[in-house]
Amino acid sequence: MRTTVGIIGAGPAGLLLARLLHNAGIDSVVLESRDRSYVEHRQRAGILEQGTVDVLRAAGAGERMDREGLRHDGIELRFARQRHRVDFPGLTGGRSVTVYAQTEVCKDLIALQLKEGGPLLFEAEALAVEDAESERPRVRFRHEGREDVLECDHVVGCDGFWGVARTAFPESLARVFERTYPYAWLGVLADVAPSHDELVYARHDRGFALLSMRSPSVSRLYLQVPADTDAEDWTDEAVWDELERRFETADDWRLERGPITQKSVTPMRSYVHEPMRHGRLFLAGDAAHIVPPTGAKGLNLAVGDVVTFARALVHERETGSPELLDAYSATCLRRVWQAERFSYDMTSMLHPGPGDSPFDARLQLARLGRIASSRAAETDLAEAYTGFPWE
């Protein structure tokens, strides 16, 4: 097989890149190791930044998102039984975020790719990226019981932390920066209308809690738990009782309960792989960087990566200059590190650590109090949450 861009991974990054290239008249082939059902149902992020929403619309993938997605103009911070709303449009000149699950983004992009785009091969396991430094890199893969080779002008690895793209970088070239947090999130899906119309981030001495949603009738909620937690150790009643404690306010707000349909534990980790390019192999999304979910940045960073790559490839085709492709890694990493910084700030501000002292607790409350009392501090949070600009 031969194509211009070989894309490994049919998550939102790989699928959106295929769509952007199709719209620009550039052919691609997408290889995905899982089957279609798995890709369309794996639960991941649900918050889309303003820039991500704009890109999906411009790519022709925004119709259902605009119909079913939930626009949010702010978040609520809770601490010391107080409530403080951060007004995104008022602080950012009109920017907002949209609640629309990653599973739905993937469904929309898969439908478009199968209808209009190039080959999208499910259950096609990428085995290795070869000759990345040559003009014709190759992806060896297994599909329908036999091995094959995809020859490309460029390869983009959107295959996550455990994929083959990242491991194709020479050890002498790669630099890794990471942090593992001593706690995790216990996440639940519940068949009950959200108890608040915007996301609620709660800092409590017992641990962090987040009230989110998947739809007007389905709530998504999270509890900070020890890193080695087994989700099955938590009964439904214990989950609701602990959520009530951590969301407690001084007014008459109440948390609505309902049947819990799913429980899972999400580890908390920060990770960056530098550089994000080796020869004609480019990394995007979780293959290059991971952020703790507190800042809602993972999916949006992946979108930024593939938009940067697509623009750079179009620029080379139109001008003959590889300048933007050569700058891909540096361009993406500037945005990645700002997102890492913001995600770390949000995480460390809202999560009491297992070894924290009373002094540490007071610092967290002081940081939250600063946001609640300073328009400058509040604006910094709102600008970061709604999305860092793409260069």
Residue 197 gets which letter from DSSP?
A: S
Beta carbons of 215 and 248 less than 8 angstroms apart: no
Instruction: Determine whether 372 is exposed, middle or buried from the number of CB atoms within 10 Å of its CB (0-12, 13-18, 19+).
Output: middle
Beta carbons of 138 and 131 less than 8 angstroms apart: yes
Question: Which position among 278, 289, 297, 351 bears the catalytic label?
Answer: 297
Question: Which position among 12, 22, 72, 137 bears the catalytic label?
Answer: 72
Alpha helices by DSSP H, listed for the chain, are: 12-23, 36-41, 50-58, 63-68, 88-92, 102-116, 164-167, 236-246, 298-319, 323-326, 328-350, 358-373, 375-386
**Active-site residue, 352 included:** no
Q: 31: which residues sit within 8 A by CB, 6+ positions away?
A: 6, 7, 8, 9, 10, 121, 124, 125, 126, 139, 141, 143, 150
- Give whole-number Cα distances, 129 to 33, 282, 332, in Å: 15, 11, 22
Two tokens, residue 291: 């952020």
C-beta neighbour count of 77 within 10 angstroms: 23
**Active-site residue, 385 included:** yes
Beta carbons of 16 and 59 less than 8 angstroms apart: yes
What's the rounded Cα separation, in Å, for the pair 258 and 261?
9
Cis, peptide link before residue 89, omega less than 30° from 0: no
Question: Which position among 100, 181, 201, 222 bears the catalytic label?
Answer: 201
Residue with structure tokens 């925004």? 62
What's the rounded Cα separation, in Å, for the pair 255 and 272?
37
Residue with structure tokens 């211009």? 4
**Active-site residue, 259 included:** no
Helix, strand, coil shares of the chain, percent, nearest 5, are 40, 30, 30
**Active-site residue, 72 included:** yes
**Active-site residue, 351 included:** no
Residue spans of beta strands (DSSP E) within 241-283 = 260-274, 277-278, 281-283
What's the rounded Cα separation, in Å, for the pair 38 and 44?
12
Instruction: Determine whether 271 is exposed, middle or buried from the number of CB atoms within 10 Å of its CB (0-12, 13-18, 19+).
Output: middle
- Give whole-number Cα distances, 33 to 14, 36, 105, 155, in Å: 12, 10, 19, 16
Question: Which position among 12, 194, 292, 293 bears the catalytic label?
Answer: 293
Question: Which residues does the annotation mark as catalytic?
Answer: 72, 201, 293, 297, 385
